[in-house]
A and B are shown apart, each in its own frame.
Chain A
Amino acid sequence: MNESKGIKSWLLTLDHKRIGILYLISVMSAFLAGGIFALLIRFELISPGKELFDADGYNQVFTLHGAIMIFMFLIPSIPAAFGNFVMPLMIGAKDVAFPRLNLASWYVYMAGAGFALYAIFSGGIDTGWTFYTPYSTSTTTAVIPMTFGVFVMGFSSIFTGLNFIVTIHKLRAPGITWFKMPLFVWGIYATALIQVLATPVLGITLALLIVERFAGIGIFDPAMGGDPVLFQHFFWFYSHPAVYIMILPGMAIISELIATFSHRHIFGYKFIAFSSLGIAITGFLVWGHHMFISGQSDLSSLIFSFITFFVGVPSGIKIFNWIATMYKGSISLRAPMLWAIAFLLEFSIGGFTGIVLGALSLDVHLHDTYFVVAHFHYVMVGGTVMALFGGLHYWWPKIWGRMYNETLAVIAAVLVFIGFNVTFFIQFIMGTQGMPRRYYTYLPQFEGMHGFSSIGALIMAVGFFLIGGYLVYAMFKGKPAGPNPWKALTMEWETQSPPLAGNFEGTPKLRHGPYDYDKVVAENAVPEYMHEPHR
């Protein structure tokens, strides 16, 4: 990290740690952009009618919010930033299997982002992040540049997934067998499988959409014998597994946080490990639950609903195992643990409401309403983003060698928790009362609820900006953190903070399991201020 200096050494780096940081900067910039669009949405929706935008403008804003958050932030975030920085350290490797492919994946991501940026300034995009035909084949906005940008970014995801699969199979240090790996690695591995298998389908789908737009081949055009619903099947075949690309790495982080901050062996290691694989596999079989009202056959809907309920079981298993880990633990409520607890509560709500939507009869009423919007924000923000920020606070001292201000971190975590629930819980009620989604204006009966939701967004924003502030400050001015401020037992904590260029001196050997808190007390002296306050 401190070895070679200068911008060229960063832009041509082959070090997984530097590539992880490059990705971190990129995805957090995307989070900022997507977040600004979110604030614009919530401001526009404070009352019916125009606040800032007309209907066309609003349609662009919500499309960009979704497209940026999903393709440029959520999908790459945890794997590309933390998978890259932390995973090789956790398995005692010097780097990933293909460092050049790793750097290339970041450049591919940036190229795709470039096309997306070009699309925003050359006509914008107003189709919703789902690009449904025939609207997306007939609208005059810049659909081709945007979808091409997403197409390119997909390759970044595939390269990363491929790299991680090979790394985890081949580069584990002596003694680190599959069942002696940290659960973070299991989660990244399951995610990588989905990335490699599902993303090509998105590529093909978007390529077909692009060709349809400029050559009019008719695959989605009913006037030429094509089928607009076919687009939905193609699109969701990727986009449903994509949501597991988003949540599995988040769950992977939560395993680490709960174990470390309960200072206890994770409960049900094998169950958690296999549940990640179970989610990855069944995730490919449920895409039609986005299409119960699309006109697809009742038999299809039946099968998709049935399998959808199977996916709920492994997620529940994880939650129960994490809580059981806390039983008789030695629990520290430092910032990373607060984010983990927020995850447990918010992801549970997201999960329960997913059950509601999976029930066929209820989905008829709730599809395309704010209930769905609230559900996916509870799992993607209440789930993935909470886990991401937990990981950020957990590994920040490892990445920079410096610690952030704990008081500010607690305040920010509480602000985000309150803001998030104020914003989104009421949207469940708006949805059940019939408020449709993607609405620029609305009937007066919903004004109070919309206003309340918008206040929550402001509170959340304050929390996130606060985090940006103290984390950046800590990078340069934080107190030195030492190699293992948390006294954790996974291998990344057995190196310096920040790690040496080659990660370890020589080849490390496994000396204890990643969660042997009942057998081992972590070595490495910890600075005085890191001790828990005496009571």
Chain B
Amino acid sequence: MDTTKTIWLPSQSSTIAPQIDALFDFILWASVVLFAIVTFATIYFAIRYRRHGDIARTTPYVENLGLEITWTVIPFILLMIIFVWGFKDFLRFHIIPAHAIEVKATGQKWFWSFSYADGPSTVGELVVPVNKPIKLLLSSQDVIHSLFVPEFRVKMDVLPNRYTLTWFEAVHTGEFQLYCTEFCGKGHSEMWGKVKVVTEDDFKKWLEAGSGPQEGESMRDFGARLFVKNACVTCHSVNGSKNVGPTFLGLFGRREVLKNGQIIIVDENYMRESMLTPMAKVVAGYDPVMPTFQGILKNVDIDGLIAYIKTLEQ
């Protein structure tokens, strides 16, 4: 799977990657040749025509229009080739194949969520079948983000109140790194995700499986998995340290003072309310920045997270 990885470029894991890389290689080698000429000429002249002793007059200057025209026209032709080539491949990114499977991808501070027309919603994980075109309908809930999968050579900004579109077709199964690549604040460099490319059969099974703990998985382990998958870990620690949000260590049963002075004991209802309407009861000493997980966490997910948090005793 990684046989296409080189020093310069990651594995070619989409249909379009080899085409993109071909243009890169062309420019790379043309540049190497030109750079070698420039470097050689500069260093050779600097040595060959080194000044010895006192200054004398140098040879008269003779204009050479032929040379000027040559080194204007030849680069220009090369540049036009590169332009046309780049443009044609660019159009391939933007002409989305008919019958592509559509996935809605949403960026927000600081995680990605994906939802399928007849399937589950996921956070941080884009599950797709191999060898099928996938259309991404993209938008943001807040500031501009950008979805980037290097091994597919695909990238598109996500904007608030507007949709952008891109597509790809994966050629290998496996897991591929996904990044946010438009600066969006504190969590920008950890707004990661994974593209999980599976066989078509596995994809169908995954769509139908719905949600809940996997076979043989305890609610506690299911909740622990969700804690990472849904990016709770970005803002809440499990070791007692203060982060963007309160630590989950010893959370269940803890006495908390809210921003409005009210005192509460953390129970299952408070935890559920915080996940769905996080602005309702913010703990004093913390900023009201938690996003809502309405529509992202199903009831069984909330049950799993609560079960997990309960096990984080001091």
Contacts and interface: CB of A to CB of B under 8 A. Distances in A.
Interface of A: 55-56, 59, 126-128, 132-135, 138-139, 222-223, 228-229, 262-268, 271, 292-295, 298, 301-302, 305-306, 309-310, 312-313, 316-317, 319-321, 323-324, 326-333, 337, 341, 344-345, 348-349, 352-353, 355-356, 358-365, 367-369, 429, 432-434, 436-443, 487, 515, 517-522, 531-532, 534-535
B49 A365 contact: no
Nearest to A271: B68
B189 A440 contact: yes
A129 to B, nearest CB: 11
A312 B77 CA distance: 12
Contacts, number: 265
B189 A319 contact: no
A436 B38 contact: no
B55 A434 contact: no
A107 B125 CA distance: 54
Query: What class of interface size applies to chain B in its complex with A?
Result: 35 or more
A362 B28 CA distance: 12
A534 B52 contact: yes
A301 B87 CA distance: 9
A474 to B, nearest CB: 23
Given A317-B68, A330-B49, A222 B42 contact: no
Interface string B85-104: 11111111110000000000
A356 to B, nearest CB: 5
B153 interface: yes
Contacts of B24: 356, 362, 432
B49 A327 contact: yes
Given A352-B34, A365-B153, A368-B182, A438 B188 contact: yes
B61 A518 contact: yes
Given A361-B23, A442-B189, A521-B56, A434 B177 contact: yes
B9 to A, nearest CB: 5
Interface string B43-86: 00110011111111111110110011001100110011011011
A364 B20 CA distance: 9
Given A223-B161, A268-B68, A312-B75, A517 B57 contact: yes
B93 A441 contact: no
Contacts of B183: 59, 127-128, 132, 135, 437-438
A519 B161 contact: no
Interface in B118-164: 142-144, 146, 148, 150-151, 153-157, 159-162, 164
Which of A310, A316, A352, A436 gathers most chain B CB within 10 Å? A436
B177 A368 contact: no
B87 to A, nearest CB: 5
A508 to B, nearest CB: 23
B68 A361 contact: no
A93 B61 CA distance: 28
A133 B184 CA distance: 10
